[in-house]
Amino acid sequence: MSIKFKKIRGTRDIYGEEFEKLFFIFEKSREIFSKYGYDFILTPAFESKELFEKSTGETTDIVQKEMYVFEDLSGRKLALRPEGTPPVLRAILENNIEIPCKFAYFMNMFRYERPQKGRYREFFQLGAEAVGFKEPYIDLEVLLLAEDLLKNLGIKDYRFEINSVGCISDREKYSKYLRNILKDKINNFCENCKRRYERNPFRIIDCKIDKAKIREIKSLMDFLCDDCRRHHEILINLLEKENFKYVENPLIVRGLDYYTRTAFEIISDRLGAQDALGGGGRYDFLLKDMGGPDSPGIGFAFGVERLMLVMEDIKKKDKALIYVVYVTEKEKDEAIKWVRKIRENNLYADMEWDYRSLKSQMRKANNKGAKWVLIIGEEEIKREKVKLKNMETGEEILTDNPFKFFEK
RNA sequence: GUGGGCGUAGCUCAACCGGUUAGAGCGCUGGACUGUGGCUCCAGAGGUUGGGGGUUCGAGUCCCCUCGCCCACCCCA
């Protein structure tokens, strides 16, 4: 046998235990999100390419080199969504949904990257957006919500890392400062940093190789304007007051252009190099940039596959299987009748549809973990009974009403 | 996009320095047990050694290309 088709790189087939986990996360998250007043939303898998260029940002890696872009037959330039925030905000604006509002989503995303542990080209994100809340109190709620989700999924080894990335003018000031102070030194830095200097100077302070050289460089925190500083201080006070466990990490930059002020990541050390379970932050100017009202927003997303990696296996509780076997083809019709009758009583029944030897049917029942086997042969039909076998004890009973043995 | 490791039966893996018909365990099918699963024993089916090209008398093994998987860099969920 040589299979003709294979799934394409970075995509996955999800079944069995994996599917159970994925669906468990979805069901659990619906419970949690409804406690916090978030409604679920589903948006199209593809949007205009421009939506992401204008919101995620032209300079980001996501837009520059990771988007699945294509033209449809009419020549429209489209993109498979690489992230959830722009489509959800677009939907809020387009449907005239009253702001403030809170939405959650569980959707697949697409990014053209080299696959790695916890990283795929099609993956699921579980996220939320809270639009129209200016004060840091919503930041607190979002963080509490994210942690509530983790706790309810039974995930333990995580930490919240929090930072403020200021507003756009703060970042411009900082960017100018960095370029200035590094102008003469950059040639001594590693190749990565040289590239970062041009594209994204913030990343240089995160460099592991040139750690020593950057010690005297000020952090973005020192460049926050009064409003941004105040926002951050209130949030930190709130977190302390609410006893929320976190660490401040001034190196968090986030790869998206629209973030302002609060930015955070949820890190797990049970993952490989891709150690972020999730991340998020504020985007106070994005709605306006998208042609909407001057409303702030905050959101976050978890990588569902990464959650699955750090979660314990879940035990799926099936109904007890009742397997119906027939001795020869002659009893097949009778077997079908019994399977239907059992299912009508909301019990789990199955049988071998293509005839195989009784031995083979019994083996199948055993392999499937059947609790009961209903045996139908010439003898049973003649006496208008069935033989019921308990697969744990091996005990057999001849009865005309097997239902009294199936405890519900 | 860059670097490293790896592709042999459905699964996990063997096969010396290039040598004859590519093996084992598990799983599967059948039998011992003609109307009965698990345990044991016996037998059987199952392979274009990821694909293509090259070197050689001879390639699973060496070389080149390609596809895929894993890990890391970059970046991110």
Residue A62, CB, strand B, below 7 Å: yes
CATH number at residue A239: 3.30.930.10
| Domain assignment of residue A301, yes or no | yes
Q: What is the pLDDT of residue A183?
A: 78
Residue A309, CB, strand B, below 7 Å: no
Distance A321 CA to B43 C1' (A): 33
Helices (H), A191-331: 191-199, 226-241, 286-289, 304-310
| Domain assignment of residue A158, yes or no | yes
| Domain assignment of residue A176, yes or no | no
Residues 6 or more apart whose Cβ sits within 8 Å of residue A248: A161, A162, A163, A236
Distance A379 CA to B71 C1' (A): 62
Distance A121 CA to B54 C1' (A): 35
For residues A289 and A352, membership in a common domain is answered with no
Minimum CA–C1' distance nucleotide for A111: B76
Distance A155 CA to B8 C1' (A): 39
For residues A278 and A327, membership in a common domain is answered with no
Distance A1 CA to B61 C1' (A): 24
Exposure class string for A108-118: b at 16+ Cβ within 10 A, else e: ebbbebeeeeb
Q: Residue with structure tokens 């055993």?
A: A366
For residues A234 and A355, membership in a common domain is answered with no
Q: What is the pLDDT of residue A387?
A: 95
Distance A361 CA to B34 C1' (A): 16
Residue A296, CB, strand B, below 7 Å: no
Cβ < 7 Å from strand B, A residues 7-36: 7-10
| Domain assignment of residue A34, yes or no | yes
Residue A64, CB, strand B, below 7 Å: no
Cβ < 7 Å from strand B, A residues 130-169: none
CA distances from A90 to A61, A124, A273, A330, A354 (A): 21, 20, 33, 62, 52
Q: Give the whole-angstrom CA distance, residue A170 versus residue A42.
A: 35
The secondary structure element, H or E, covering residue A266 is strand A260-267
Reduce the DSSP state of residue A404 to 3 states and report it: helix
Residues 6 or more apart whose Cβ sits within 8 Å of residue A240: none
One pLDDT digit (tens) per residue for chain A, 408 residues: 567 788 888 999 888 888 999 999 999 999 999 999 999 999 999 999 999 999 999 888 899 889 999 999 999 999 999 999 999 999 999 999 999 999 999 999 999 999 998 999 999 999 999 999 999 999 999 999 999 999 999 998 899 999 999 998 898 888 888 888 877 777 777 777 777 777 777 777 776 666 666 667 788 888 999 999 999 999 999 999 999 999 999 888 777 888 999 999 999 988 888 899 999 999 999 999 999 999 999 999 999 999 999 998 787 777 899 999 999 999 999 999 999 999 999 999 999 998 899 999 999 999 999 999 999 999 999 999 999 999 999 999 999 999 999 875
Contact (CB, 8 A) for A325 and A352: yes
| Domain assignment of residue A6, yes or no | no
Distance A22 CA to B40 C1' (A): 41
Which nucleotides of chain B have an atom under 7 angstroms from any protein CB? 1-3, 10, 28-31, 35-38, 46-48, 67-77
**Residue where one domain finishes, among candidates A258, A282, A310:** A310
Domain boundaries, position A130:
17-167+225-310
For residues A124 and A252, membership in a common domain is answered with yes
Q: Residue with structure tokens 């699921």?
A: A124
For residues A378 and A230, membership in a common domain is answered with no
Residue A391, CB, strand B, below 7 Å: yes
For residues A400 and A286, membership in a common domain is answered with no
CATH number at residue A347: 3.40.50.800
Distance A2 CA to B62 C1' (A): 27
**In this complex, which residue's CA is closest to the C1' atom of nucleotide B50?**
A2
Distance A330 CA to B44 C1' (A): 29
For residues A332 and A285, membership in a common domain is answered with no
The secondary structure element, H or E, covering residue A93 is helix A85-94
For residues A233 and A352, membership in a common domain is answered with no
For residues A305 and A326, membership in a common domain is answered with no
Residue A369, CB, strand B, below 7 Å: no
- The dihedrals phi and psi of A27, each to the nearest 5 degrees, come to -65, -45
Cβ < 7 Å from strand B, A residues 251-290: 253-256, 265, 272-279
Residue A401, CB, strand B, below 7 Å: no
Minimum CA–C1' distance nucleotide for A301: B77
**Residue where one domain finishes, among candidates A277, A310, A343:** A310
Residue A3, CB, strand B, below 7 Å: no
Minimum CA–C1' distance nucleotide for A9: B68
| Domain assignment of residue A204, yes or no | no
For residues A232 and A348, membership in a common domain is answered with no
Domain count across chain A: 2
For residues A77 and A149, membership in a common domain is answered with yes
**Residue where one domain finishes, among candidates A310, A339, A373:** A310
**Residue A63 identity:** V
| Domain assignment of residue A383, yes or no | yes
Q: What is the pLDDT of residue A282?
A: 96
Question: Residue A150 corresponds to which tokens in the numbers above?
Answer: 């983790």
For residues A346 and A233, membership in a common domain is answered with no
User: What is the predicted ipTM?
Assistant: 0.86
| Domain assignment of residue A201, yes or no | no
Strand partners, A164: A262
